[in-house]
Structure 1
Amino acid sequence: MAYDGNLPPPTFDLDTYASNYEGALLPHRLSHIATYCPSLTRHALTLAIAAASRGKDVQLYVRLHNTAERLGLADLSIPDMDWTARQEEANRRELARLEGELRGYKNNMIRESIRMGQDDLAAHQLNTGGPLPDPSDPQTLQAAGYNAAYQAYSKMRDYCTTPTHVASMTLRLVYTCLLQAISSQQTGFSPTMNYNQAMSNAHRIKSVGVKEEEMARLLPIMNAALGIAHMGLANYSDAAGYFLTTHHSYATLGDVHSTNFPRLVATGNDIAIYGGLCALATMDREHLLNNVLGGSFRPFLELEPHMRKAISLYTTAKYEACLTTLRHYYADWRCDVFLGPHVDRLLANIREKSIVAYFSSFSQVSLASLASTFPPAVPAAQVPQAMEAEALRMIETGSLHARLDVVNGLLIAPQREARGATHGDAKLAAEEVERTLLLRLHRVNVVMAGLEVPKGRWGVGAVQGFA
């Protein structure tokens, strides 16, 4: 199912949805919903502007009003210029104060004070959206926007005196990278570099050297961040691996080093959806049963029963019901700022996997039957042509091993030569018998020579052969 610009209303209540998040990402999430879901455009932008006006980011506030103008909401397109002027002046004064304090700390050479001053300055840059770039000087792009916050947090490293300080700094860097990625995505730039930076910083969490109980709280955040970054880079298999290893305590972590990651970035429900879809798109039935439905990820799926239901339907070969369940929640997932750009590709992968698994049980299937089980998202008159084109594409890419009989409208599985297969199986069995006999003969020779073979020195097959 592809996004056609006319997204239906999602199943969630927007006010309840917005109450699950806080921080700088909330207006970005609401702006994404306003852009892609026409039925919620006004409500989402109203909430986004209200959230931005409670903060200090004037650039984001103005950009939201510009979005309202672009979407044809004239009453929301005019920003409060008095508020912007007051907030810009307050931001300038606060920035001058923080920079002055930091200079004083550096003159006094007090490492802890410098670290805290640098942290306050970075937090200010993050909350205010950073300085505007100078169009005449391309070099200012590197220190504009959220890049300023990232650089300020990075400078804390020289003044961190304990592993906890390093962990706190690294966690802030991960959050800033993800915020940069979404900001880049919404302003038309590639978020690839930001996701790579998020991955690099998240990997460093493992080696900061904090105590075991503190690491137990950091690891779920690290895995969730790595999963989001890999998903942002379209590495869905790697993303599924990290989401599935995220401990279920993530959903109730709360503040870790003054950073509430589930509320700032992705809730436990989000992890359930991200992990479930990535796993369903990349893992086979056995892995889904053992690692998703029956593994440590199960508590996350309890938060989103429809995702658990979809995976269960797939594992029981009820592919049509599985895809119908997924399509029902398509609008919800298209409205997610992290998942939205990838949901079409993920659902296409799941559909392709379902067709391959369905066809594996038959020697031949009619395209009409295939279309009734997996109806393409096209008008009824175009269904036969669309199904034929889809089957041909899957055959050409190698994902479906079959022949297409266009005249009779059949998809035919390649025939295996029974005689050759029987001979091959007989040859393998003979080789295994010969190998076993040679091992037993070798054991007899060892015993007759008065030697003793220590246990565990031979391979598994050799030990079996010696028995």
Structure 2
Amino acid sequence: MTAQGTTPSPVKSWRQDSSRESDHYHLPPPTFDLDVWVNNYEGALLPLRLAHVAIHCPTLARQAITLAISHAKRSKDVRVYVRLCDLAGQLGFADLGTPDLGWASKQEEGNKRELSRLEGELRGYKNNLIRESIRMGQEDLATHHLITGGPPPDPATVQSLGGTGYGVAYQAFGKMRDYCTTPTHMASMILRLTYTAILQAVSAQQQGSTARHHLDLVLSNCSRLRTCGVKEEEQVKLNPIAIAMSGIAHLGQANYHDAASAFLSTPITYNLLGPVHNTDFGRAVASANDLAIYGGLCALATLSRQALIDRVLGGPFRAFLELEPHMRKAISLYTTAKYQACLDLLRRYYSDWSLDVFLGVPASSIGSASHVDVLFAHIREKSITAYFSSFSEVSLASLASTFPHTSSSPTAMEDEVLAMIDAGQLDARLDVVNGTLVAPRKDLRASTHEEARRAAEEVERTLLLRLHKVNVVMAGLEVPKSKTAGWEGHGQGNGLMY
């Protein structure tokens, strides 16, 4: 419904796909306390985080949706408030599902008056042709669109949906470009564009739309942020934000290797930045603890054991891991070949990470598996491959006891191993009759003959080259060394040099 409560809103509500009945969408309680967790975040992304928790964790659903509605009512975004009330009704909380239409109508009227005032001021600034005033007026207008969710849509025009919400704020911030007179102004604008694009991506994912375009905008703005030409002392504050936000964008696009590289490159100063150009990305988007989780999982899923030792446990990223000791311990267990203990520790925090608004969303538009599910699957496959590399033959029963499967099917391990072999991730063959996984046997006799043949060819080639040199010398075709090399380039003498 609209703010006045008379017409159904054309804006989609949060996705409630009843066909997805996996464990991921019915999570057990997490290890964190929701009230303490909420205090780590602020801004327009907080209600979206709480809505994600309410949808996927039944035990925290009522508390999360109550906090989300309370936070939304303290803001100016009426449509987010109404959508949260609709979500509460869908979740079965009838007492929370009825929006306060009086407050919504009053707030909507106040937003319209504020919008008219800001637009009038901006027109006056443009008439006076004062660039700095125009820039500031455009920034105030864009910020108003950001905190109010943009102008209300016109129900009669379907195309108007594309020009509402955070998209209007993004366009308004982009119009500041023509009036920026210093690199600092450009940096401020790019930071706001980055933050707005992230909001667009999260909002699109929760409404069942693709977020790839918005994530591409985040990557583009992060690249511009690193080359905006500000002074070095200011660039030091911008680089951690640019690197961390590009990592989140790569994570959202399921480019886990690129995401790991970005997170591992993020300076620990990110944890101490505070507000930069009036936006605290550590509280508004992702904290240093979040980056430790994102980077640790992406690194475990994509990097080799030696790279984990050198770049993660032994590199600058270890300072982030100190904030999340369980993630550091999981990586340490993997590097010491304690794969089962590593997977068990990761599984203990599965609910926590699935309730994260960036990790817990579907990794693909064609499947229900979240980024956490995909990363866990990659880590498990790497663990099985590394474990099997030490043996020439392993029974499926031993493999199943070392890597317990979540499925109760008796052929679950066999099916998983076959899938890995077909995908080329595991170099082995499966003996179904004996129930064993066998490494490919190397013919030592043939390999020895092949090495001998290559050595003979190399010796023959070396002897031919030496014989060729001897023939050149005996024929007098060898070019003698220049006797004038000592004074070459000094401009002395009249002789010619070759």
Q: TM-score higher than 0.5 here?
A: yes
Amino acid at match of 2:323: L
Q: 1:390 aligns with which of 410, 416, 425?
A: 416
Amino acid at match of 1:83: W
Q: Indicate the SS of the match to 2:447.
A: helix
Q: Indicate the SS of the match to 1:365.
A: strand
Asked whether the 8 Å contact 2:25–2:55 carries over to 1, the reply is: no
Q: Following the alignment from structure 2 to structure 1, what is the Cα–Cα distance between the partners of residues 296 and 69?
A: 32
Amino acid at match of 2:39: S
Question: Where does the alignment leave 5 or more consecutive residues of structure 1 unmatched?
Answer: 455-467
Greater shift in the superposed pair: 328-337 or 192-201 = 192-201
Matched, 1:313 2:333: yes
- Give the aligned partner of residue 480 of structure 2: 449
- Give the aligned partner of residue 6 of structure 1: 26
Matched, 1:217 2:246: no
Q: CA distance change for structure 1 residues 213 and 425 in 2, over 3 Å: closer, same or farther?
A: farther
C-alpha deviation, 1:236, in angstroms: 0.5
Q: 2:443 aligns with which of 417, 424, 428?
A: 417
Q: Indicate the SS of the match to 2:430.
A: strand
Matched, 1:359 2:379: no
Alignment of 1:264-343 (within 5 A): 264-341=284-361, 342-343=371-372
Matched, 1:81 2:110: no
Asked whether the 8 Å contact 2:24–2:56 carries over to 1, the reply is: no
Give the alignment's Cα RMSD to 1 decimal: 2.1
C-alpha deviation, 1:212, in angstroms: 1.1
C-alpha deviation, 1:447, in angstroms: 11
Q: CA distance change for structure 1 residues 438 and 87 in 2, over 3 Å: closer, same or farther?
A: farther
Q: Which string of whole-angstrom CA distances, capped at 9 and with x for unpartnered residues, describes residues 401-444 of structure 1?
A: 11111111111111112122223334455566678889999999
Q: CA distance change for structure 1 residues 4 and 254 in 2, over 3 Å: closer, same or farther?
A: closer
Q: 1:41 aligns with which of 53, 61, 65?
A: 61
Matched, 1:344 2:392: no
Asked whether the 8 Å contact 2:309–2:335 carries over to 1, the reply is: yes
- Give the aligned partner of residue 225 of structure 2: 205
Q: Following the alignment from structure 1 to structure 2, what is the Cα–Cα distance between the partners of residues 156 and 215?
A: 20
C-alpha deviation, 1:6, in angstroms: 2.5
Q: Indicate the SS of the match to 1:416.
A: coil
Q: Following the alignment from structure 1 to structure 2, what is the Cα–Cα distance between the partners of residues 339 and 402?
A: 32
Amino acid at match of 2:347: R
Matched, 1:150 2:170: yes
Matched, 1:377 2:406: yes
Larger Rg: 2
Q: 2:432 aligns with which of 384, 406, 409?
A: 406
Q: Following the alignment from structure 2 to structure 1, what is the Cα–Cα distance between the partners of residues 103 and 469?
A: 90
Q: Following the alignment from structure 1 to structure 2, what is the Cα–Cα distance between the partners of residues 172 and 389?
A: 48
Amino acid at match of 1:250: Y
Question: Where does the alignment leave 5 or more consecutive residues of structure 2 unmatched?
Answer: 1-21, 362-370, 486-498
Q: Following the alignment from structure 1 to structure 2, what is the Cα–Cα distance between the partners of residues 53 and 63?
A: 12
C-alpha deviation, 1:134, in angstroms: 2.5
Q: CA distance change for structure 1 residues 447 and 167 in 2, over 3 Å: closer, same or farther?
A: farther
Q: CA distance change for structure 1 residues 204 and 377 in 2, over 3 Å: closer, same or farther?
A: same
Greater shift in the superposed pair: 37-46 or 133-142 = 133-142
TM-score (norm 2): 0.86
Which ranges of 4 or more aligned residues in structure 1 deviate by more than 4 Å? 427-448
Q: Following the alignment from structure 1 to structure 2, what is the Cα–Cα distance between the partners of residues 425 and 450?
A: 40
How many residue pairs match? The answer is 449
C-alpha deviation, 1:258, in angstroms: 1.2
Q: Indicate the SS of the match to 1:333.
A: helix
Asked whether the 8 Å contact 2:27–2:56 carries over to 1, the reply is: yes
Q: Indicate the SS of the match to 1:303.
A: coil
TM-score (norm 1): 0.92
Q: Following the alignment from structure 1 to structure 2, what is the Cα–Cα distance between the partners of residues 301 and 439?
A: 57
Matched, 1:113 2:133: yes
Alignment of 1:61-100 (within 5 A): 61-100=81-120
